[in-house]
Amino acid sequence: MTGQPIPSLRSQLAVLAALLILLAASASLSRLPLGWWGLVIGTVIAIGQALLVLVIFMRLRHSHPVMRMIAVLSFAWPLLLVALTLGDYLTRYLLHAPW
């Protein structure tokens, strides 16, 4: 933990620029009639933005391995939750809505 390198101002601003460009891309692409692909593209862009924030702004790149492990696990667990929940919903007969 000691002696953590100090990031350059340029790198921080470059990441902000990348985040805003990705935001613009996400917003622009959502205007196109891409159907379910829009969801996929939006999710991929969001994951890219989140990784930038995690690695650069939250400094995971130079963090202790334990912190990185907790970070990976904390995001892997909800993914597992969603995957298993969807696995249930996609493989059984759905009840009709009560309206």
The residue ranges that bind another protein (CB under 8 A) are: 1-4, 6-7, 9, 12-13, 15-16, 19-20, 23, 26-27, 30-34, 38-39, 42-43, 45-46, 49-50, 53-54, 56-58, 63-64, 66-67, 70-71, 73-75, 77-78, 81-82, 85-86, 89-90, 94, 97, 99
* Least distance to another protein, CB of residue 62, Å: 12
Interacting residues of 21 by C-beta distance below 8 A, sequence separation 6+: none
**11 within 8 A of 59, measured Cβ to Cβ:** no
* Least distance to another protein, CB of residue 95, Å: 10
**Closest by alpha carbon to 12, among 68, 62, 58, 72?**
58
